[in-house]
């Protein structure tokens, strides 16, 4: 099949984005398409595949997000901003309710984070601490700033669903080797965590700045994970490391977002939705392989604008 897409990113979390409103693919085909397009060894590459879907009740459009291994995630807040931009441009609107796999979120075009940076405000939640919904067994009904005996570390974790599952540990300094070891245990889908989980190590830089590094379920280490930044912000407020209802800068390897969490467990992010380039590629779904890439348009000004933001964040 021939597939047209936009290569985009939210805070360095990069994806091919497909308008799926007129596509009729089986679930197996979507899995294969994600594996083909997101393959880092292929012509496109990404942390996963984003799909713009059609109206559903009060939702003007929806999003599906497939990880690079073909599994489908409940949400992806960095990706949602990109899908929201595509939905806004397709429908001629600037705010909407968006349908996610298991929840809804509100999205709106927002004032730019910096000159030349297309910015979207998104509000998701409520976050939940109920471990039975993951499920995560053997740790009680909830886990807040406490060790998890099944992991190869004595770090203290807070378990938050956003609505995808996150384990958040606050550290003085991120140790990536340790993060990978913990992440790989969760990625193995042990009996106590059958649906796996995202794992984040978080540095509290000051009372309004976090740095988040994430091992993402189905992907591995990522430059950025939007739902992890939201979960980390809420966990930081819950454990009184920062205050609820305060604007926070959340730094990551790909740049930053602005975040605010409420005591009602809602989290709002302001972040970029940057178009990098647009292209078309031939995909062999049976082999999950893409080839014969043709680049149709490059968005060099947007890429440069975000590069300045990311450099300043570092």
CATH code for the domain in which residue 89 is found: 3.10.310.10
Q: Is the pLDDT of residue 61 over 90?
A: yes
One domain for residues 149 and 231: yes
Q: Is the pLDDT of residue 279 over 80?
A: yes
One domain for residues 111 and 150: no
Residue 219: the pLDDT is: 87
3-state secondary structure of 92: coil
One domain for residues 289 and 307: yes
3-state secondary structure of 87: helix
Range of the domain at 302: 2-120+272-313
Q: Is the pLDDT of residue 235 over 80?
A: yes
Contact 50, 33 (CB under 8 A): no
- As a whole number of angstroms, the distance between CA 163 and CA 75 comes to 7
Q: For the chain, give the number of residues.
A: 314
One domain for residues 135 and 212: yes
- What is the tens place of the pLDDT at every residue in 2-44? 999 999 999 999 999 999 999 999 999 999 999 999 999 999 9
- 76 carries an active-site annotation: yes
- Mean pLDDT of all residues in 175-185: 98
What is the C-alpha end-to-end distance of the chain, expressed in Å? 40
The answer to whether residue 126 is domain-embedded is no
Q: Which of 76, 82, 186, 237 is catalytic?
A: 76
Q: Is the pLDDT of residue 314 over 80?
A: no
One domain for residues 251 and 297: no
Q: Is the pLDDT of residue 308 over 90?
A: yes
Q: What are phi and psi of 183, to 5 degrees?
A: -60, -40
Residue 313: the pLDDT is: 81
The answer to whether residue 107 is domain-embedded is yes
Q: Is the pLDDT of residue 45 over 80?
A: yes
One domain for residues 297 and 252: no
Residue 299: the pLDDT is: 98
One domain for residues 84 and 173: no
One domain for residues 67 and 97: yes
- What is the tens place of the pLDDT at every residue in 92-130? 999 999 999 989 999 999 999 999 999 999 999 999 999
One domain for residues 12 and 98: yes
- What is the tens place of the pLDDT at every residue in 128-163? 999 999 999 999 999 999 999 999 999 999 999 999
One domain for residues 13 and 113: yes
Q: What is the DSSP letter of 114?
A: S
Domain count, the chain: 2
- As a whole number of angstroms, the distance between CA 197 and CA 268 comes to 22
pTM of the model: 0.92
- 186 carries an active-site annotation: no
Q: Which of 3, 82, 186, 225 is catalytic?
A: 225
Residue 263: the pLDDT is: 97
- What is the tens place of the pLDDT at every residue in 186-221? 999 999 999 999 999 999 999 999 999 999 998 899
The mean pLDDT of the chain is 96
One domain for residues 309 and 253: no
The answer to whether residue 125 is domain-embedded is no
62 to each of 29, 102, 107, how far by Cα in Å?
A: 19, 11, 11
- What is the tens place of the pLDDT at every residue in 281-291? 999 999 999 99
- As a whole number of angstroms, the distance between CA 279 and CA 274 comes to 15
- Confidence bin at 165 (pLDDT 50/70/90): very high
Query: Cβ atoms within 10 A of the Cβ of 37, count?
Result: 28
- Mean pLDDT of all residues in 237-246: 98
One domain for residues 93 and 144: no
Q: Which of 265, 280, 221 has its CA nearest to residue 129? A: 265
- Confidence bin at 82 (pLDDT 50/70/90): very high
Q: Which of 251, 265, 131, 249 has its CA nearest to residue 201? A: 251
3-state secondary structure 224-246: CCHHHHHHHHHHHHHCCCCCCCC
Query: Cβ atoms within 10 A of the Cβ of 133, count?
Result: 13
């Amino acid at each position: 099949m021939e597939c047209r897409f936009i290569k985009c990113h939210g805070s360095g979390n990069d994806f091919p984005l497909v308008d799926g409103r007129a596509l009729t693919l089986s679930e197996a085909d979507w899995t294969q398409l994600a594996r083909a397009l997101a393959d880092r060894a292929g012509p496109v590459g990404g942390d996963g595949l984003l799909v713009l879907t059609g109206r559903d009740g009060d939702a003007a459009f929806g999003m599906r997000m497939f990880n690079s291994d073909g599994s489908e995630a409940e949400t992806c807040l960095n990706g949602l901003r990109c899908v929201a931009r595509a939905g806004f441009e397709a429908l001629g609107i600037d705010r909407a309710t968006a349908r996610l796999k298991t929840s809804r979120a509100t999205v709106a075009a927002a004032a730019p984070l910096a000159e030349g940076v297309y910015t979207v405000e998104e509000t998701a939640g409520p976050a939940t601490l109920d471990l039975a919904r993951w499920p995560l067994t053997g740790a009680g009904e909830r886990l807040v700033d406490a060790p998890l005996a099944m992991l190869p570390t004595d770090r203290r974790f807070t378990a938050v669903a956003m609505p995808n599952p996150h384990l958040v540990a606050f550290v003085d300094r991120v140790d990536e080797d340790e993060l990978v070891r913990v992440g790989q245990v969760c990625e193995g889908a042990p009996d106590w965590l059958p649906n796996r989980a995202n794992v984040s190590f978080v540095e509290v830089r000051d009372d309004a700045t976090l740095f988040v590094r994430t091992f993402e379920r189905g992907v591995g280490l990522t430059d950025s994970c939007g739902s992890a930044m939201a979960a980390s912000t809420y966990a930081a407020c819950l454990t009184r490391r920062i205050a609820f209802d305060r604007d926070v800068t959340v730094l990551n390897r790909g740049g930053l977002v602005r975040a605010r969490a409420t005591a009602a467990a809602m989290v709002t992010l302001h972040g970029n939705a940057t178009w990098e380039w647009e292209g078309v590629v031939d995909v062999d779904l049976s082999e999950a392989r893409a080839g014969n890439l043709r680049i149709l348009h490059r968005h060099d000004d947007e890429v440069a604008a975000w590069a300045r933001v990311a450099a300043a964040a570092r």
